Amino acid sequence: MRKGSYLGNSNGSTSPYDPYYYDTAEPMPFRLDPIGAGQFNIVAIGDANNPGAIGAGDNARQIRGDMTTKTGINQRTSWTIEPIDPSIDAITLTYPSNSVQVVTLPYAVSNIGAINDGVNTYAIHSQISATELALVKKDEFAAGEPFVMTIGDLTQYEDDHSNVDISIVLPASATAKADTVNGLVGVLSQRSVKGNGYGFIENAVLKVLAEDKSASIGSQSGYIVPSLIKAQEGEYNLILTTEGALGIKQIAGSNDALVNVYTIDGKLLKRNIKA
């Protein structure tokens, strides 16, 4: 799959319109049954929760397990297989213009900025304050290695933005495992995360999770765990300012009390701060 994972089992639901298939890092067997006109049924076998032909859902990202009787030609369970054009030398991904993104791809990438105008890629250099994250330019990333990518002028981002196609040289191999590099946690398949002070991108803004809150991290993206960041040697190239304090939690007290402020991993940051 495009996220570097396999098509896995369904959720096993017996409710109408509910049995969806999910992606997984572990392979699961499916059988191809020719049905004519160059079309196939893809049939879940083995330990499938919903045995039978899988079908396309109401949008391009849904694969359903409740259409097992609709197996004729030109049905939602009919699929075609087309070869990749051997002349293609790059793939295209789409991102919002004038934005910053955390990106994790299931294949190695290099020199994205060299072939895309206004695009730069970075690794985390250090956290220089509670609300500032320093980035250093980097051009090459291994399969599954997360990175930060800027597209255009970040000060010009708008909610009704246009999209930009980013070209990436056609990869030679893929992985189903995302890595964590200097506090940047890669995500290949969408997941929910919960962690006080974690950083994440929303609407092209670096935001911070509050205590007892969670955020949905999209596929081929990632998030930041500040306690895992170790300052790197040398100069940095870009500073991202956050909405909220990265990795900071304040010890509760009365409004008039003085409290101490600690990092998320328990290190004292400031003493006697008014609550």
Statement to judge: residues 105 and 231 lie in one domain: yes
pTM of the model: 0.72
Which residues have CB under 8 Å from 172's CB, separation 6+?
Answer: 107, 108
Statement to judge: residues 196 and 67 lie in one domain: no
The torsion angles phi and psi of 124, rounded to 5 degrees, stand at -75, 130
How many other CB atoms are found less than 10 A from the CB of residue 90? 11
Statement to judge: residues 72 and 205 lie in one domain: no
For 130-148, how does the pLDDT look when each residue is reduced to its tens digit (9 = 90+)? 889 999 999 999 999 999 9
**Within-domain flag for 230:** yes
**Within-domain flag for 264:** no
Statement to judge: residues 145 and 70 lie in one domain: no
Residue 109's domain comprises 90-241
The amino acid occupying position 19 is P
Statement to judge: residues 75 and 98 lie in one domain: no
- Which residues in the chain come in under a pLDDT of 70? 1-5, 12-20, 25, 59-61, 68, 248-275
Query: Count of domains in the chain?
Result: 2
**Within-domain flag for 269:** no
Q: Quick check: helix, strand or coil at residue 156?
A: helix
Q: Given this model, what pLDDT does residue 203 score?
A: 78
Statement to judge: residues 119 and 175 lie in one domain: yes
CA separation, residue 122 to residues 78, 101, 102, 162, 236 (Å): 42, 10, 10, 23, 10
C-beta separation of 120 from 128 below 8 A: no
**Within-domain flag for 54:** yes
State the Rg of the chain over Cα: 23
| Pair of tokens at residue 275 | 């609550």
Q: Given this model, what pLDDT does residue 177 score?
A: 87
**Within-domain flag for 257:** no
Statement to judge: residues 14 and 40 lie in one domain: yes
Statement to judge: residues 169 and 211 lie in one domain: yes
C-beta separation of 198 from 227 below 8 A: no
Domain closes at, from 59, 79, 99: 79
**Within-domain flag for 170:** yes
Residues 130, 132, 134: CA angle, nearest 5 degrees: 130
C-beta separation of 248 from 197 below 8 A: yes
Domain closes at, from 36, 59, 79: 79
- Distance, CA of 102 to CA of 225 (rounded, Å): 13
| Pair of tokens at residue 271 | 């003493």
**Within-domain flag for 84:** no
Statement to judge: residues 110 and 222 lie in one domain: yes
Statement to judge: residues 121 and 43 lie in one domain: no
Most distant CA pair in the chain, distance? 77
Q: Given this model, what pLDDT does residue 54 score?
A: 87
Beta strands 147-151 and 119-129 are antiparallel
> In DSSP terms, which residues pair with 137 in a beta bridge?
122
Domain closes at, from 79, 109, 139: 79
Q: Given this model, what pLDDT does residue 49 score?
A: 80
Statement to judge: residues 16 and 60 lie in one domain: yes
Statement to judge: residues 100 and 23 lie in one domain: no
Residue 228, CB-side half-sphere exposure with 13 Å CA sphere: 14
- Distance, CA of 240 to CA of 82 (rounded, Å): 43
- Distance, CA of 48 to CA of 155 (rounded, Å): 49
**Within-domain flag for 252:** no
